[in-house]
Every structure is written in C-alpha cells, then in structure tokens.
Amino acid sequence: MNTSTTIESGPWAGWRTWPEDKFESGTGPFYMKRDEAGRVVCRFIAEPRHMNGGGFMHGGCFMTFADFACFAIAEEQTEGPSVTVNLSGDFLSAAKVGDTMEATGEITRAGGRLIYVRGLITANEKPALSFTSVITRLSKRP
Amino acid sequence: MNTSTTIESGPWAGWRTWPEDKFESGTGPFYMKRDEAGRVVCRFIAEPRHMNGGGFMHGGCFMTFADFACFAIAEEQTEGPSVTVNLSGDFLSAAKVGDTMEATGEITRAGGRLIYVRGLITANEKPALSFTSVITRLSKRP
Amino acid sequence: MNTSTTIESGPWAGWRTWPEDKFESGTGPFYMKRDEAGRVVCRFIAEPRHMNGGGFMHGGCFMTFADFACFAIAEEQTEGPSVTVNLSGDFLSAAKVGDTMEATGEITRAGGRLIYVRGLITANEKPALSFTSVITRLSKRP
Amino acid sequence: MNTSTTIESGPWAGWRTWPEDKFESGTGPFYMKRDEAGRVVCRFIAEPRHMNGGGFMHGGCFMTFADFACFAIAEEQTEGPSVTVNLSGDFLSAAKVGDTMEATGEITRAGGRLIYVRGLITANEKPALSFTSVITRLSKRP
C-alpha cells in the first residue's frame, strides 16, 4: 500500500509526498498539498538533473510529474490500489533549471471503476504541459 | 546539440545512448541500436529504482523510456533540434524488477515539420505500453 | 476558405455555424457563439441519428462535435487555414436522444504555428467527454 | 444488442456492417471483413458529404471511422456490450473525395475488462490517421 508522509520541517514543511515510491523519490521528490480553497497543488523545483540534452526539461520528467499529480488529484476517489490506463500530454512550452513546477487539475469523472483526470503543469506560472489521465481502481468501489 | 555515443565494452557494447541528456542518464541510461533488419531497438533492465510504491514500474518511467524511444525511432528524420508536441501512452500490463524492457516502433509520417511515431514497449516480451508521439522540428527541413 | 454564418431566425437565432463544412452540416449542424463572459459555447440537440446500436450517442459523433468545438475555441488564433494534428477524447459518460450537448474549453497555448486546446462536452450539464486537440496553422503567423 | 449483417450483393457483397447503428449508417455506412490472413479490414469510399469546409475529409469523419474500426478489430474480444473509454487520433495526411479509406489494426492487450486497440487509416494506401483506443466491457468477462 502506498501511504503518504507529511514533511515536518524545511522549505517543504506541510507538503506531503509518497516516500515508498522509489521512482518518484529518485526523480523528484514531488510534493502535494491542498491549498486554502481545497484544491490539490503539486510542486517541485527544476534542477539540472531534470534536463534533456538541449538544456530544457525532459518530456519524461514532465510526464512523471503529471502521473504523480494525477494520483494526487484523484487520491480521495481511488480508495485502494489503482493504476494508470492512459496518460497523455501536450507540451505547451519549455521549462528550465530553477523553474517552480506546479501541477493542478481536476477529476472530470469518477465512476465505479474508472477515474478521469485532467490538469495543467506550469513552469514559473507559464503553462507548460496539458495532461489527461484515465486511472482504474484494481477493485470496484463498494 | 544532442550527440549519441556508442558503448565500447561491457554488456551494452555496440549500443548507443545520449550521454548529454541528464534526465535520461539518471533515469536509465537507456540504450538503442539498429538490429539486423535495420529496425531501431531500445532497451534497459528494470531495477528497484524504477518501481512505484506498489512494486511495479512507475508510469513516468515507462513514459520516459517511450519518449527516448520516439527520438531514437525518429532520429534519421529529425535532422536537428526537435521537441515533443504530444506523447500518449496506453498501459497494457505491469513490469517488475529484472524485466528486460524493450521498445520498438515506426515513423507513421514525417512531414516538412511534424514527425509522427508509434511504438510498443514490452517487458520480457509481453506488451506493456503502447505509445504514440508527435515531434516537431524546430526548423523546417530544407 | 471556411466562413461562418450567423443564424437569423428560429431557435438558433444569434448562433453561428460553418455552412460550407459538409460533414458538420450533415452530422449537426453544430452551433457556436460567445456568451456574455466572452467564452465560446458550442451546442446541438442529440437526435436518434446521432446514436449508436446501443441507443447512446456514438463516439464518432462526440469526436466530430469536439473537433468542431476546437476550431470554434481556437478561431481567433487560427488566422487562416489550419488543420488538426491530434484529437483525443476521454469518454466520461453517455448521452441520449434529446440531451442538450454543450462544449466549452480554452486555448492552453497558441504558438507561432501550433495551437493547443482542451475542453469538455456536457450532456444536459453532466460531463460526457473531456477532449484535447493540437491544431496547426498551415502558414506561420506573421 | 448490436448485431452485424453481411451485405449480399453489389460492390460490398461479402462485407459486414452494423445496420442498427444509426450514426454509422448515416455517416458511412462503413464495411468490415476478415481478409485471407484473418486480419480485420474496414473500408469505405470518401464522398463530398465527408469533407470539411476546406474540401478535405473532416477530422470527425476520420474519428468516426476509427471508432468503428476499433470495435471491428476488438469484436472477438468484446463478448457483449462495451464502450469506448479513450479514443485518440494523430492526423498524418489529408483524404479527399473518391479516396478508398481503409482501416486496419490490432488488439495490443485484452484484459479482464479493458481492451486496447491501435490502428492505421489509409487514404488510397497513404497513411492518413494513426489511432489508439481503450474499450471497456460493461460486464467482466467470465
């Protein structure tokens, strides 16, 4: 089971992450919390290790953060193990070292088994990736 | 500019990679070569650091390898700097530690500016991710 | 060139359509206008001819309306001939005969050549299709 | 229930269609059969009514034919009512009046509930649309 942890001190105090997820911990870590309006916000700071050979953020880094964000956004609906069925991203503009990467989004539909999410990643508040995802619960919701 | 290097010794001798791509080097490295039939083949071995909290390969790792594969497949058509416009993946089945991950695919269309790719990632020869990508050259082909 | 016409009388008075588009005229017609807030709204009423063999709206009808909506939403940015590069739809729920079908959305990015759109189709105000599109101008914007 | 019919005479003798699907019958009809190799082939001839305002095949017509093809390709696995979860198309090149439109493809994965398809539509044998689809059975396969 994937359990989140709240960071207790430092610049990310109050944000949560999934520490048991080795790929996310190694790529990120990425952080999530609910803002005052109850909206899920995900964030990390772009570093040199996130860049491609051209010096801009790698598409795979964008998609990893998007996948993280989809589960963060869908979290209150997944209620147990769930996996990605489809993940799609439209690359709107580039991101570079030092940019504050932020993902927000919404559940467009939570059915008995499938959960649909869409969202937007910004780099220093400029739209950078538009993403959609379909997630499936591994067991149907009671 | 992103220049590939051929590995000279060890288990990956004869395979190429893009060493200047920090994100791919850190996530992978991923390897590519042309097989006897001239078809691009991409490969890496799944390790614990590629897994999610549930113990299976992270969706972001799949998409990163897919993005790498799209550029490997499109390489002879890109002729200069090019970036991903859209990347989409359908998750067919899971991959686990130790699996040989392999990506193959084809250019479905190479136009004056846009290049379209589709491919398949297998885990120990079992289909695991079906992907499509649209790539754009940053300057039109002469 | 595709020029829109404003309907002058009847239930759709004040709405616009593209009458020279034979496929849309035959499938729809579909209607668009800007609401008081300046937001593009697209609409049509579901009829028996839009249904599949199971009695619900056909996926192709949804995607045709989505494609129409993408060009309506992107209209002020296309500035000349433009075509769809990618169109993707997530099917959230069904629509049936008599439903008021409405599409709204937004440009997530308008670059020198590529325009990115995302939107939502509702059936009687219930989310039914989440869509994204990449459109390319056939000539670069001056 | 959606039952197919085999055309008995005329140019499409031997091909099958789903006559109860009103939207497909009105947009097409589209035809399907298995070729000598056992591969599903779908076909129709492009007419003026399938064109957009620019004189080329409408994106919605492409996607409707793709959706038809996905169900034709997946038919032996659907075993009962099933619906589209995601449909995505990459537009490779244009099609015009008189073109022979053909769709072929493959099931990339058929799970307990979800079926994944990918395929290609050609216009006079030139690649025109690359598509992927996720279909869900409404009841789990026994």
pLDDT digit string, tens, across residues D97-106: 999 999 999 9
Chain C contact present for D84, CB below 8 A: yes
Q: Which of D1, D53, D60 sits opposite C20 (nearest CB)?
A: D53
- Partners of residue B89 on adjacent β-strands: A87, B131
Cα gap C131→C90, rounded to integer Å: 6
At A1 the pLDDT is 47
At A112 the pLDDT is 87
Q: Which residue has the higher pLDDT, C121 or D77?
A: C121
Which residue, among B84, B87, B90, would best test binding to D if mutated, counting the most D CBs under 10 Å from its CB? B90
- Chains in contact with A, where contact requires at least 3 CB pairs less than 8 Å apart: B, C, D
Please list the ranges in chain B whose pLDDT falls under 50. Answer: 1
- Chains in contact with B, where contact requires at least 3 CB pairs less than 8 Å apart: A, C, D
DSSP A51: B
D129, burial (CB in 10 Å: exposed 0-12, middle 13-18, buried 19+): buried
CA dist list (Å): C123 to A70, A72, B65, C95, D81: 25, 28, 38, 6, 21
Distance from D43 to chain A by nearest Cα, in Å? 28
Burial D84-123, CB ≥16 within 10 A → b, else e: bbbbbbbbbbbbeeebebbbbbebbbbbebbbbbbbbbbb
At C112 the pLDDT is 87
At B91 the pLDDT is 98
At A142 the pLDDT is 58
For D17-32, what is each residue's pLDDT tens digit?
Answer: 999 999 999 999 999 9
Sign of CA dihedral C55, C58, C61, C63: positive
Chain D contact present for B94, CB below 8 A: no
Which residue, among D4, D42, D51, D58, would best test binding to C if mutated, counting the most C CBs under 10 Å from its CB? D58
Partner-chain contact D134 A134, CB within 8 Å: yes
In the three-class reduction of DSSP (H, G, I as helix; E, B as strand; rest coil), residue C123 is classed as: strand
CB distance A131 to A116 below 8 Å: no
For B66-81, what is each residue's pLDDT tens digit?
Answer: 999 999 999 989 878 8
Domain B5-137: give its CATH code: 3.10.129.10
For A14-72, what is each residue's pLDDT tens digit?
Answer: 999 999 999 999 999 999 999 999 999 999 999 999 999 999 999 999 999 999 999 99
Partner-chain contact C1 D89, CB within 8 Å: no
End-to-end alpha-carbon separation of chain A, Å?
A: 18
CB distance A67 to B59 below 8 Å: yes
At B1 the pLDDT is 47
Q: Which residue has the higher pLDDT, C101 or D142?
A: C101
Residues 6+ apart with CB under 8 A from A93: A123, A126, A127, A128, C109, C111
For A105-142, what is each residue's pLDDT tens digit?
Answer: 999 999 989 999 999 999 999 999 999 999 999 876 65
pTM for this model (two decimals): 0.96
At B124 the pLDDT is 98
Cα gap A129→A59, rounded to integer Å: 9
Question: Closest residue of B to A24, CA-based?
Answer: B52
CB distance B84 to B137 below 8 Å: no
Partner-chain contact C90 A111, CB within 8 Å: no
Which residue, among A30, A58, A86, would best test binding to B if mutated, counting the most B CBs under 10 Å from its CB? A58
At A3 the pLDDT is 84
> Which of D95, D89, D87 has the alpha carbon at shortest distance from D133?
D87
The single-letter code of the amino acid at C98 is G
For C89-126, what is each residue's pLDDT tens digit?
Answer: 999 999 999 999 999 999 999 998 999 999 999 999 99
Chain B contact present for C85, CB below 8 A: yes
Cα gap A50→B23, rounded to integer Å: 5
Q: Which of D3, D23, D59 sits opposite C52 (nearest CB)?
A: D23
- Domain ranges within chain C, ordered by starting residue: 5-137
Residue-level pLDDT, tens digit, chain C, 142 residues = 468 999 999 999 999 999 999 999 999 999 999 999 999 999 999 999 999 999 999 999 999 999 999 999 999 898 788 999 999 999 999 999 999 999 999 999 999 899 999 999 999 999 999 999 999 998 766 5
Q: How wide is the angle at C-alpha B21 spanned by C-alphas B16 and B25, nearest 5°?
A: 70
Query: Angle, to 10 degrees, between the axis of helix C59-78 and the axis of helix D59-78?
Result: 150
Sign of CA dihedral C26, C54, C105, D66: negative
At B136 the pLDDT is 96
Q: In C, which residues are within 8 Å of A130 by CB distance?
A: 108-109, 116, 118, 132
DSSP B136: E
Q: How do beta strands A114-123 and B5-6 pair?
A: unpaired
Q: In C, which residues are within 8 Å of D59 by CB distance?
A: 63-64, 67, 83-84, 87
What distance lies between CA B113 and its chain's CA centroid? Answer: 21
Residues 6+ apart with CB under 8 A from D76: none
Q: In C, which residues are within 8 Å of D1 by CB distance?
A: 53-54
Using omega within 30 degrees of 0 as the cis cutoff, is the peptide bond preceding B29 cis?
A: yes
- Partners of residue A120 on adjacent β-strands: A104, A130
Q: What is chain D's Cα-based Rg? A: 15
Chain D contact present for B93, CB below 8 A: yes
Q: How confident is the model at residue D80 (pLDDT cuts 50, 70, 90)?
A: confident
